[in-house]
Amino acid sequence: MIKVAMMVGSLRKESLTLKLGEFLKNRYSDKLDVEIVNIDVPLYNGDIDNDADRPASVTTLFNQVKDADAVFMVTPEYNNSTSGVLKNAIDWVSRSPYLNNKPGLIAAQSMGMTGGARGYLALHEILNRIPMMLLPGNDILLPASHTKFAEDGSINDEGTVKFIDGVIENFITYYNKVK
């Protein structure tokens, strides 16, 4: 079982990004032990970036990332980019060594037909700065996401589910090679 810390880039209760994250958590629960971590942390401020002043929520986030075998990030697309919420959490965690050499996977969604591709690419660009080990060549992009989720949280599009199954298989193969 691979222990995954999942960062979801939207804080709203009915978030489609959260729905995508929960889909990944639930569908692959026999292979991945996914914990959706709280990234509702204060804005990064260098004045509180020290052991005495660091917010407790940030210390918790550090520990959750540290204890995970892998990190997944799921992003919405805001103004052609990732969300400020996710970028802020990444800025905090990048001040620790815990993302370094961590196998990772990113996914995006949007209600439009691009599937959040620009949010995905912006997130990819940010993570290029951090020595994570992102699974290359496997993009989970969910277009028209508001039409895709059934009441029980499953995705009602067989082709998409098959594709995501393949990406997760590829991630597990990749994880076992790089770990």
Residues forming the site for ligand FNR (CB under 6 A): 10, 12, 15-17, 76-80, 110-112
* Residue placing its CB nearer to ligand FNR in the complex, 10 or 138: 10
The nearest distance, CB 167 to ligand FNR, in angstroms, is 19
* Residue placing its CB nearer to ligand FNR in the complex, 55 or 112: 112
* Residue placing its CB nearer to ligand FNR in the complex, 7 or 133: 7
- CA 89, CA 107: separation in Å to the nearest integer? 16
| H or E element that contains 78 | none
| H or E element that contains 173 | helix 158-178
Give me the helices (H) in 44-115, please: 56-67, 84-93
List CB contacts of 91: < 8 A, sequence separation 6 or more: 44
The nearest distance, CB 84 to ligand FNR, in angstroms, is 9
The nearest distance, CB 100 to ligand FNR, in angstroms, is 28
What amino acid is encoded at 49 in this protein?
D
The nearest distance, CB 23 to ligand FNR, in angstroms, is 13
